[in-house]
């Protein structure tokens, strides 16, 4: 079953859960689902690009160089099928391709070090809908867990910010970026809320790292936050006993389900 949700077309979240008593918990992807990671990346790479522009001799404005470098980073990320890459590595790769160089100079490396030194020590901002949604899920007495595709330390920092917003500690599970966020990782993530994945609603923004592997793991209810209006590949069949709901923004889960 594949349901496109329209604004105000469906009942409330409480009714949603009442109608699906098999759902005992909700497991959230973190980046670009509960926290605004894209903007965090975009802002830092833009400032970094502006600074790099000062170091190189290209007859373009700093703004344009920063923008083009940002596009190059996006291109590498897409080419890597949205698998996370450590920022220093990602930026270096982008610079090498953008400037057609073999290695980055010491000057460029110091700009990278300056802009990236705190990157994994802070959390991207919470999505606007995160706190109200999590509070409503807890009011409906469902468990909540987090499954991030990032290193332990950065996941903990993000989980702390999310927990603080909710006002209670939320358990988290991380899949290190050297690994794939696959079926087995999704099954293991649900163990932190003591609930089999068959009884968990999975919410994520990535078809290949969240939605498809969670279905493969046996998840029966999923919400895909499809911010960029991506089409599900035609060759993909969603099993008939799986309920996949699609929204454009996290907030719609609260107001439109």
Instruction: Write out the binding residues for Mg ion, residues 63-122 only, by CB under 5 A.
Output: none
Per-residue contact string for residues 184-213; x = within reach of Mg ion by CB under 5 A: ---------------------xx-------
| CA–CA dist 125, 123 (Å, integer) | 6
Name the segment binding Mg ion (CB under 5 A); options: 25-33, 83-91, 94-102, 117-125: 25-33
31 versus 252: smaller Cβ distance to Mg ion: 31
Residue keyed to tokens 């965090």: 40
Query: How many CB atoms are located within 10 Å of the residue 81 CB?
Result: 10
Burial 195-215 (b: 16+ CB within 10 A, else e): bebebbbbbbbbbebbbbbbb
Q: How many residues does the chain have?
A: 257
Given 32, 127, 130, 189, the residue binding Mg ion (CB under 5 A): 32
- Residue 31 in the binding site for Mg ion (CB under 5 A): yes
| CA–CA dist 157, 153 (Å, integer) | 6
29 versus 252: smaller Cβ distance to Mg ion: 29
Residue 146, SS3 per DSSP? strand
Closest CA to 210 of 248, 176, 182: 182
Name the segment binding Mg ion (CB under 5 A); options: 24-32, 65-73, 176-184, 190-198: 24-32
32 versus 195: smaller Cβ distance to Mg ion: 32
142 versus 149: smaller Cβ distance to Mg ion: 149
56 versus 177: smaller Cβ distance to Mg ion: 177
- Kindly tell me the sign of the dihedral angle through the C-alpha atoms of 59, 60, 66, 69: negative
Please state the closest distance from residue 205 (CB atom) to Mg ion, in A. Answer: 4
Please state the closest distance from residue 102 (CB atom) to Mg ion, in A. Answer: 33
Tokens of 82: 């949205």
The answer for residues whose C-beta is within 8 angstroms of residue 2's C-beta and 6 or more apart is 232, 238, 244, 246
| CA–CA dist 166, 242 (Å, integer) | 29
Please state the closest distance from residue 32 (CB atom) to Mg ion, in A. Answer: 4
Name the segment binding Mg ion (CB under 5 A); options: 28-36, 109-117, 228-236, 248-256: 28-36
Please state the closest distance from residue 221 (CB atom) to Mg ion, in A. Answer: 18
Please state the closest distance from residue 27 (CB atom) to Mg ion, in A. Answer: 12
Given 29, 50, 72, 137, the residue binding Mg ion (CB under 5 A): 29
Q: Which residues bind Mg ion (CB under 5 A)?
A: 29, 31-32, 205-206
């Amino acid at each position: 079953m594949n349901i496109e949700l329209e604004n105000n077309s469906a009942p409330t979240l409480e009714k949603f859960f009442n109608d699906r008593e098999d759902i005992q918990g909700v497991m959230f992807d973190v980046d670009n689902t509960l926290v605004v990671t894209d903007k965090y990346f975009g802002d830092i790479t833009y400032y970094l690009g502006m600074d790099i522009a000062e170091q190189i001799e290209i007859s373009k404005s700093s703004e344009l160089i920063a923008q083009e470098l940002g596009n190059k980073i996006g291109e590498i990320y897409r080419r890597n099928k949205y698998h996370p890459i450590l920022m220093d590595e990602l930026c270096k790769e982008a610079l090498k391709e953008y400037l057609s160089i073999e290695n980055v100079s010491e000057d460029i490396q110091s700009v990278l070090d300056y802009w990236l030194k705190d990157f994994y020590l802070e959390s991207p901002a919470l999505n606007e809908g995160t706190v109200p949604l999590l509070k409503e899920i807890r009011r409906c007495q469902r468990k909540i867990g987090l499954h991030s595709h990032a290193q332990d330390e950065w996941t903990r920092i993000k989980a702390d910010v999310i927990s603080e917003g909710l006002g209670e500690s939320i358990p988290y599970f991380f899949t290190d970026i050297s690994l794939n966020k696959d079926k087995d990782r999704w099954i293991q993530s649900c163990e932190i809320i003591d609930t089999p994945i068959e009884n968990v609603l999975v919410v994520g923004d990535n078809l290949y790292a969240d939605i498809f592997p969670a279905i493969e793991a046996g998840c029966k209810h999923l919400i895909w936050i499809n911010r960029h209006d991506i089409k599900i590949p035609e060759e993909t069949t969603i099993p008939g006993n799986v309920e996949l709901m699609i929204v454009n923004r996290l907030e719609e889960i609260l107001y439109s389900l």
